[in-house]
Amino acid sequence: MSKWFEQVANDPSNIISSRVRLARNWEEYKFPSKLSDREANTMISRLEEKFSDLGARTGRNFSFTSLGDMPEIDRIAMRERRLLNKTLVEKKSPGAILLSDDEEASIILNGDDHLRMQIIKPGFQLNACYGEADMLDDYVNEKIYYAFSPKYGYLTSYPTNVGTGLKASVLVHLPSLNASRKFQDFLTDMASRFGVGFRGLYGRGTDNVGDIYEVYNQKTLGISEREILDLVTYAAHQLAGQETQIRRQSLEEHRLSREDEAFKSYGVLKYARKLAIKEAMTFLSHVRAGIEDGLLKPADPVSIYRLMTEIQPANLQKMSEKPLGQEELEEVRASYIRDNLPDLA
């Protein structure tokens, strides 16, 4: 089955994906940081048994994997695919993941909280993500009682998740905005006015290779789920709209320069024999913008975001099925892009 990131289109809306995560805890147990390994293993085993009908209830095929049994390279690759965070990659205490075949749906067991449910989809589908996450939440709540306070809402390991326990986010491709000297001031202003956060997916500020930013809610307490979704939706569309406006103006005033940037980037990617991750991500971002704006017309469909995901170091190592040195990694990255980037029509 294809993964969700393989379906990300080079959409002129500039929006790449949507995600909803819910943090929950089982009232029978202490928070994960206070559990002994024995208690954690017992809880994970009980949850695995309780969720044995998860696939039948959701219509998805789920696999169960212990994080402790997973090689480090696999955990890093899952982080690159936005399934695990840094804490879970480095986690030494017991933990596990239930993951659907398309990687859209997952449940982390005994991570930062006892349960972290995640739904992620290509394009702008924030409401659909929440709808599925809500159904998953109802399913889990049939099996266990949550740690819940009538005053504060869902109780979580981190105060920043108390309340709804909901984190909603949207990925937006912003190459033109990211090149602007006033971009960081613009983000700071939006954050203060709307209570949302921004972070580069592959670095910070102008070092964010790939020009992809995540927009997410900062508050979970004293705000409803609907308000969170509306807030993130508004902020994401504001950013995407600003990007579109700048690009349209650039095409009108500097079309030849934009064409030159897009075609040069395509040429390097199509013929290079070695590519470091930073230059590959930069050129892929330029190519994606060129496709979005109609400057480049691939002969066959291609998801540039899929290429961005699959050329990350750990995922390349996994595809190669052998350890790779730095130079070998750059050679394999260039070869992979050449093989998967279609000719132009």
pLDDT, tens digit, for every residue of 151-168?
999 999 999 999 999 999
Query: In terms of DSSP H, where are the helices of the chain?
Result: 37-50, 54-58, 72-80, 86-89, 126-143, 175-178, 183-194, 225-271, 277-292, 304-310, 313-320, 326-340
* 31 is a domain residue: no
pLDDT score at 206:
59
What pLDDT is recorded for position 184? 86
pLDDT in tens, 257-314: 999 999 999 999 999 999 999 999 999 999 999 999 999 999 999 999 999 999 999 9
Number of domains forming the structure of the chain: 1
Kindly state whether residue 267 falls inside one of the protein's structural domains: yes
Summarize the confidence of residues 37-49 as an average pLDDT.
98
According to the model, what pLDDT value does residue 193 have?
84
d(CA 20, CA 170): 9
Q: Is the pLDDT of residue 7 over 80?
A: yes
pLDDT, tens digit, 9 for 90 and up, residues 201-242: 987 765 788 999 999 999 999 999 999 999 999 999 999 999
147 occurs within a structural domain? no
Q: Give domain status of residue 130, yes or no.
A: no
Q: Please check whether residue 320 lies inside any domain of the structure.
A: yes
Model confidence band, residue 318 (pLDDT cutoffs 50, 70, 90): very high
Residue 307 lies in a domain: yes
The confidence score (pLDDT) of residue 1 equals 76
Q: How confident is the model over 83-109, as a mean pLDDT? A: 96
- Domain for residue 296, yes or no? yes
Flag whether 39 is in a domain. Answer: no
C-alpha 81: how far from chain center: 7
pLDDT at 321 over 90: no
Find the domain containing 298 and state its range.
255-340
3-state SS class at 19: strand
Q: What is the mean pLDDT of residues 46-52?
A: 97
